[in-house]
Amino acid sequence: MKLPIENRKYSNEITEDDDGERVNIAGWVHEKRDLGGVFFLIVRDREGFAQVTLHKKTIGKELFEQAKKVPRESVVAITGTVKGEQKAPNGYELIPERIEILSEASHVLPLDITGKVGAELDTRLDARFMDVRTERTKHIFIIRSQVLKAIRDFLDARGFIEINTPKIVSAATEGGTALFPITYFEREAFLNQSPQLYKQMLIASGLDSVFEIAPIFRAEEHDTTKHLNEASSVDVEVAFVSDKEVMKLLEELIASVYSKVALYPGISKLNLQLEVPKVPFRRITYDEAIELILEAGEQIEWGEDLSTPAEHILGKTIGELYFITDWPRAIKPFYAQPTEGKDTCDAFDLMHPRLELASGSQRVHSYELLKENIESKGLSAESFEFYLNAFRYGMPPHAGWGLGVERLLMSMLEIDNVREVVLFPRDRRRLVP
């Protein structure tokens, strides 16, 4: 085989109008069907399926035997002539003149790609390269790619600058989660829980409106269907605006992503009717949330964070995407701006009826107040010096948020387990593949 395969066509680039044309395709042997006198090879590529038809009488014996012998999921390159055939996928079949086996697959497969035999998530994740060959999983990851592109396009159109901040950091936890320690030459370092401190420092740099799409690392010990130890976060930070403007930015971004994904034909493979949410999303205060939770008979005290059952009660009552605003200061990080004269702060969470999607706030931009807040959380201002310094020489007022990519995907696609929307998820038990 000479590479690249000359004029290679995807299965969906060939139609019945190409009747009589000679074409080259390449892909995986998806299925083999033996009808005695006729043998079918269904070849799968990224874009779909092609039927390769071998008539025993007219095709050479060698080619016929070769096709019969090739194990399923082997990789083949086929040269053949197109023949219109209504009953075949895309309305054509290929009469082969050459079948080249580029890579022969082992006979016992770890997964059934045709979808006839289901598999546990763990089995699928162990053989993820193969699981992505199934239609449903493939479309999830194509949609993931489209979601990321839609986010970049949306922010790019609004003048945002994409940044990349370090994932290896010295201590300085923001609270809320444990960090993963790593060995950094002769010192201890950590994997970053979020780009929070760095994106804020870049507001002092004058870049003005910045965003980052990158991994965040959290040593969450619990095993839930919505927590990963390595997740992807879209982080946005904007100068000279308040929490109200970045909430609007967030809801418009979500609506824009939904409307892009709704146009993708592969969405039908997920048995999904995607409804684009209407903006503005509903806003309730933390106090109103507490009232609704208590009314439903669930225990909660003012000042506590919302438990998963409490989130579900709110989700059931509200039934659509919504914001919770005006959180108690004590359960939000030190960088959230306190509301004047109250024990709440200008922080918000974006909620899907099933789970939290994003958290954000107006940020403290006064050096003195920030230092005070850090200390009042029992943290050492010294270890935050690199961050605090950025507030001493001209820091604009600013606001921002962090949105979980996997949470957005799983809620939008009605998928139960967050691991389904990550190619190679990392959780308490899983470090391989």
Give the β-pairing of 209-217 and 161-162.
parallel
Q: In the complex with ligand ATP, which residue's Cβ is closer, 82 or 409?
A: 409
Q: What is the DSSP letter of 338?
A: B
Q: In the complex with ligand ATP, which residue's Cβ is closer, 124 or 227?
A: 227
Q: Identify what 220 binds: Mg ion, ligand ATP, none; CB under 5 to 8 Å per kind.
A: ligand ATP
Q: Min. distance of Cβ 194 from ligand ATP in angstroms? A: 6
For the chain, what is the radius of gyration of the CA atoms? Answer: 27
Q: Min. distance of Cβ 218 from ligand ATP in angstroms? A: 4
Is residue 233 part of the contact set for Mg ion (CB under 5 A)?
no
Q: In the complex with Mg ion, which residue's Cβ is closer, 179 or 261?
A: 179
Q: How many residues bind Mg ion (CB under 5 A)?
A: 1
Supply angle C-alpha 68, 108, 95, rounded to 5. Answer: 25
Q: Min. distance of Cβ 418 from ligand ATP in angstroms? A: 6
Q: In the complex with ligand ATP, which residue's Cβ is closer, 228 or 412?
A: 228
Question: Which whole-number Å values give the CA distances from 212 to 168, 200, 218, 245, 350, in the listed order?
Answer: 16, 12, 17, 18, 18
Q: Min. distance of Cβ 296 from ligand ATP in angstroms? A: 20
Q: In the complex with ligand ATP, which residue's Cβ is closer, 96 or 333?
A: 333
Give the residue among 117, 111, 108 at the shortest CA–CA distance from 131.
111
The token duo for 147 is 């979601």
Give the residue among 241, 198, 253, 208 at the shortest CA–CA distance from 363.
241
Burial group, residue 379, by CB count within 10 angstroms (0-12, 13-18, 19+): middle
Strand order in the sheet with 282-285: 161-162, 209-217, 230-239, 398-404, 355-362, 344-352, 322-328, 282-285
Binding segment toward Mg ion, per CB under 5 A, in 2-10, 126-134, 249-257, 353-361: 353-361
- Report yes or no: 173 and 378 within 8 Å, Cβ to Cβ: no
> Of 51, 196, 232, 359, which lies in the binding site for Mg ion, with binding defined by CB under 5 A?
359
Binding segment toward Mg ion, per CB under 5 A, in 32-40, 271-279, 358-366, 412-420: 358-366
Give the residue among 360, 363, 353 at the shortest CA–CA distance from 281.
353
The token duo for 295 is 């009314």
Q: Identify what 80 binds: Mg ion, ligand ATP, none; CB under 5 to 8 Å per kind.
A: none
Q: In the complex with ligand ATP, which residue's Cβ is closer, 16 or 298?
A: 298
Rounded to a whole number of angstroms, the distance between the first and last alpha carbons of the chain is 31
Q: Min. distance of Cβ 177 from ligand ATP in angstroms? A: 6
Distance CA 240, CA 46 (A): 46
Which amino acid makes up residue 153? D
Q: Min. distance of Cβ 298 from Mg ion in angstroms? A: 20
Closest residue to ligand ATP, based on beta-carbon distance: 404
Q: Min. distance of Cβ 191 from ligand ATP in angstroms? A: 12
- Which residues of this protein are in contact with ligand ATP, per CB under 6 A? 176-177, 218, 220, 227-228, 231, 233, 356-359, 402, 404, 406-407, 418
Q: Min. distance of Cβ 74 from ligand ATP in angstroms? A: 37
Closest residue to Mg ion, based on beta-carbon distance: 359
Distance CA 254, CA 236 (A): 13
Q: Identify what 99 binds: Mg ion, ligand ATP, none; CB under 5 to 8 Å per kind.
A: none
Q: Identify what 402 binds: ligand ATP, Mg ion, none; CB under 5 to 8 Å per kind.
A: ligand ATP
Q: In the complex with Mg ion, which residue's Cβ is closer, 337 or 359?
A: 359
CB atoms within 10 A of CB 378: 7
Residues within the interface to Mg ion (CB under 5 A): 359
